[in-house]
């Protein structure tokens, strides 16, 4: 929401734009039924947890220039460096330490089920050997070859899914120019060049599908005034014709907020994209969404940024998001040498240790049956089993669960062979827990109840 408002407000303020056709008559891009969409998105929705990767020429300056730090993938906009000078970073981009299998192992060991990597960010530099422009990694860097296909192949060898991020806005392309003094964002389109640029976009996206078999197209940079809802719907139809089961985010069309379309029954694309935030509640079983977040404060590599989320932050975000029926896309920004920062790896490793014990309470689950977050934690559910994620371990060893159901069985995922004693009081089920929580970040209880889960009003 903040993202879209910021980007579109900038555009409207600076350009007096009212030409957004966000209210254009919605024409469905497919006649797909909710059941057919659910089947197409099943693997994505069951995955719940993915790795976002922001990698490009911006990784070379690593967020620093002329004594200034704290930048990253918006370097071109924040410095307004002349294009010819920025292009020279390509000569320094030589990721000799890039090991796709090692990156995939980091993701897999963290419990992640899919990877989404920037194929082309706003900088306009293609991370594969595209025929559409020579402004690409194979033609302009000493590395001399693309990095996407090797990662896609490594992901599939490890049983992970592979997707690609693609920016509609392109700060390098001659069809566009900055709309504001001293900023490249948002771009304005030279009207006579739009058709050519869209054709190049489609050619590049076709290459990505054909060369990497990308399963997700994660669009971004859609807030420009020259990209309309109709353009987004046309792009969805084009991509579906190329790869009918491809998963597309809602940023394929202009957004007024990161859940645009998803919350109005007029989706363009398949899932909503709250960014750097977790919605206060879920959106119901047929609304798909994914919270994307940085591990520190930047998407691209920013050498000086050591403000890392803790493993507890990551695990509890993942639980909170899953308890609302969403996916968590957590980002790393590799260095120009091809390394994922060690501080990021440490946090992903810690997350993986939690997932190896408790992952069944996240994967292929549905949102909590309780209307609100529970006072001591969160819940998810799967095939009649309730998973209780306890953040705050009860000092008296009694966990109160506002449930009408009787409990058939309960155990800690960390101690599956030790049934928990259960009882009831006026406010529902009471579970008797051991004195020590098995995991200080979140301990998970599997609760099998008879019949459909019937929550009770929370105790006042
Ligand atoms: O401007 C981009 C930003 O660099 C980053 O790629 C994020 C990730 O979702 N998307 C845009 C900001 O909303």
Clarify whether residues 285 and 424 are in a common domain: no
Q: What is the reported pLDDT for 13? A: 39
Burial 244-283 (b: 16+ CB within 10 A, else e): eebbbbbbbbbbbbbbbbbbeebbbbbbbbbbeebbeebb
pLDDT tier, 266 (very low <50, low <70, confident <90, very high otherwise): low
Pocket-testing residue among 1, 2, 3, 271, ligand 1, by greatest number of atoms within 8 A of Cβ: 3
| 220 CA distance to ligand 1 middle (Å) | 7
Residue 340 falls inside a structural domain: yes
Clarify whether residues 327 and 415 are in a common domain: no
| 254 CA distance to ligand 1 middle (Å) | 14
Q: Which two tokens stand for residue 90?
A: 């390509």
Cα–Cα nearest to 119, from 161, 67, 167: 167
| pLDDT, mean of residues 265-293 | 90
pLDDT(260) > 80: no
Clarify whether residues 293 and 386 are in a common domain: no
Q: Mind listing the pLDDT tens digit for each residue in 306-316? A: 999 999 999 99
pLDDT(240) > 60: yes
Per residue, what are the HEC states of the chain?
Answer: CHHHHHHHHHHHHHHCCCCCCCCCCCCCCCCCCHHHHHHHHHHHHHHCEEEEECCCHHHCCCCCECCECCCCCCHHHHHCCCHHHHHHHHHHCCCCCCCHHHHHHHHHHCCCCEEEEEEECCCCCECCCCCCCCCEHHHHCCCCCCCHHHHHHHHHHCCCEEEEEEECCCCCCCCEEEEECCEEEEEEECHHHHHHHHHHHHHHHHHHHHHHCCCEEEEECCCCCCCCHHHHHHHHHHHHHHCCCCEEEHHHCCCCCCCCCCCCCCCCCCEECCECCCCCCCCCCCCCEEEEEECCCCCCCCCCCCCCCCHHHHHHHHHHHHHCCCEEEEEECCCCCCCCCHHHHHHHHHHHHHHHHHHHHCCCCECCCCCCCECCEEEEEECCEEEEEECCCCCCCEEEECECCCEEEEEECCEEEEECEEEEECCEEEEECCCCCCCCCCEEEEEEECCCCCECCCCC
Clarify whether residues 181 and 269 are in a common domain: yes
Clarify whether residues 270 and 350 are in a common domain: yes
Average pLDDT over the chain, rounded to an integer: 92
Q: What is the reported pLDDT for 26? A: 47
Tally of domains in the chain: 2
Of residues 254 and 142, which shows the higher confidence score? 142
Clarify whether residues 103 and 76 are in a common domain: yes
Clarify whether residues 171 and 236 are in a common domain: yes
Residue 431 falls inside a structural domain: yes
- CATH number of the domain bearing residue 143: 3.20.20.80
Q: How far is CA 229 from CA 251, 252, 253, 422, in A?
A: 10, 8, 5, 54
In the chain, the percentage of residues whose pLDDT exceeds 90 is: 85
| 117 CA distance to ligand 1 middle (Å) | 12
Q: What is the reported pLDDT for 67? A: 96
pLDDT tier, 6 (very low <50, low <70, confident <90, very high otherwise): low
Residue 366 falls inside a structural domain: no
pLDDT tier, 199 (very low <50, low <70, confident <90, very high otherwise): very high
Pocket-testing residue among 299, 305, 328, ligand 1, by greatest number of atoms within 8 A of Cβ: 299
Of residues 109 and 23, which shows the higher confidence score? 109
- CATH number of the domain bearing residue 431: 2.60.40.1180
Q: What is the reported pLDDT for 259? A: 76
Q: What is the reported pLDDT for 144? A: 98
Clarify whether residues 440 and 344 are in a common domain: no
Clarify whether residues 253 and 134 are in a common domain: yes
| pLDDT, mean of residues 97-107 | 98
Give nearest CA residue, ligand 1 atom 5. 299
pLDDT(77) > 90: yes
Q: Domain limits at 454?
A: 377-459
Give nearest CA residue, ligand 1 atom 6. 299
Cα–Cα nearest to 170, from 132, 115, 117: 132
Q: Which two tokens stand for residue 232?
A: 């987004």
Clarify whether residues 340 and 397 are in a common domain: no
pLDDT tier, 131 (very low <50, low <70, confident <90, very high otherwise): very high
Clarify whether residues 191 and 317 are in a common domain: yes
d(CA 207, CA 377): 45
* Ligand 1, CB cutoff 6 Å, lining residues: 3, 73-74, 220, 275, 292, 299
Which residue among 327, 361, 395 closes a domain?
361
Clarify whether residues 321 and 262 are in a common domain: yes
Burial 356-393 (b: 16+ CB within 10 A, else e): ebbbbbbbebebbebeebbeebbbbbbeebbbbbbbeb
Which residue among 337, 361, 385 closes a domain?
361
């Amino acid at each position: 929401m903040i993202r879209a408002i910021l980007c579109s407000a900038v555009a409207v303020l600076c350009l007096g734009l009212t030409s957004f056709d966000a209210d254009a008559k919605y024409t469905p891009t497919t006649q797909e039924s909710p059941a057919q969409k659910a089947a197409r998105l099943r693997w994505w929705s069951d995955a719940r947890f993915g790795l976002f990767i922001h990698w490009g020429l911006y990784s070379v300056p690593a967020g620093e220039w002329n004594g200034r730090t704290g930048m990253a993938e918006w370097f071109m906009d924040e410095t307004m460096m002349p294009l010819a000078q920025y292009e020279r970073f390509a000569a320094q981009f030589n990721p000799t330490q890039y090991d796709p299998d090692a990156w995939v192992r980091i993701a897999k060991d963290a419990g992640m089920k899919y990877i989404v990597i920037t194929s082309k960010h706003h900088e306009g530099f293609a991370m594969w050997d595209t025929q559409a422009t020579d402004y690409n990694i194979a033609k302009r860097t000493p590395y001399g070859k693309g990095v996407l296909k090797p990662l896609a192949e490594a992901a599939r060898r490890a049983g992970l899914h592979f997707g690609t991020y693609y920016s509609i806005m392109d700060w390098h392309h001659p069809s566009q120019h900055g709309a504001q003094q001293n900023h490249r964002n948002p771009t304005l389109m030279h009207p006579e060049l739009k058709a050519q640029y869209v054709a190049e976009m489609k050619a590049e996206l076709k290459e990505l599908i054909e060369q990497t078999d990308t399963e997700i197209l994660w669009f971004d940079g859609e807030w420009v005034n020259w990209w309309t809802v109709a353009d987004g719907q046309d792009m969805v139809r084009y991509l579906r014709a190329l790869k009918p089961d491809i998963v597309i985010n809602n940023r394929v069309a202009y957004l007024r907020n990161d859940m645009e379309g998803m919350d109005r029954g007029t989706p363009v694309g398949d899932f909503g994209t709250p960014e750097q935030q977790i919605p206060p509640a879920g959106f119901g079983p047929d609304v798909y969404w994914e919270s994307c977040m940085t591990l520190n404060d930047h998407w691209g590599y920013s050498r000086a940024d050591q403000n890392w989320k803790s493993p507890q932050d990551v695990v509890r975000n993942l639980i909170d998001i899953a308890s609302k029926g969403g996916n968590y896309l957590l980002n790393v920004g590799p260095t120009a040498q091809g390394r994922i920062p060690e501080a990021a790896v440490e946090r992903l490793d810690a997350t993986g240790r939690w997932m190896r014990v408790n992952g069944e309470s996240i994967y292929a689950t549905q949102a909590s049956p309780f209307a609100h977050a529970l006072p001591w934690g969160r819940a998810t559910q799967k095939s009649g089993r309730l998973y209780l994620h306890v953040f705050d371990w009860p000092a008296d060893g009694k966990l109160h669960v506002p449930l009408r159901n009787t409990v058939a069985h309960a155990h800690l995922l960390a101690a599956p062979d030790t049934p928990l004693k259960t009882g009831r009081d006026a406010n529902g089920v009471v579970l008797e827990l051991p004195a020590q929580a098995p995991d200080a970040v979140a301990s998970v209880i599997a609760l099998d109840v008879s019949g459909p889960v019937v929550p009770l009003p929370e105790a006042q």
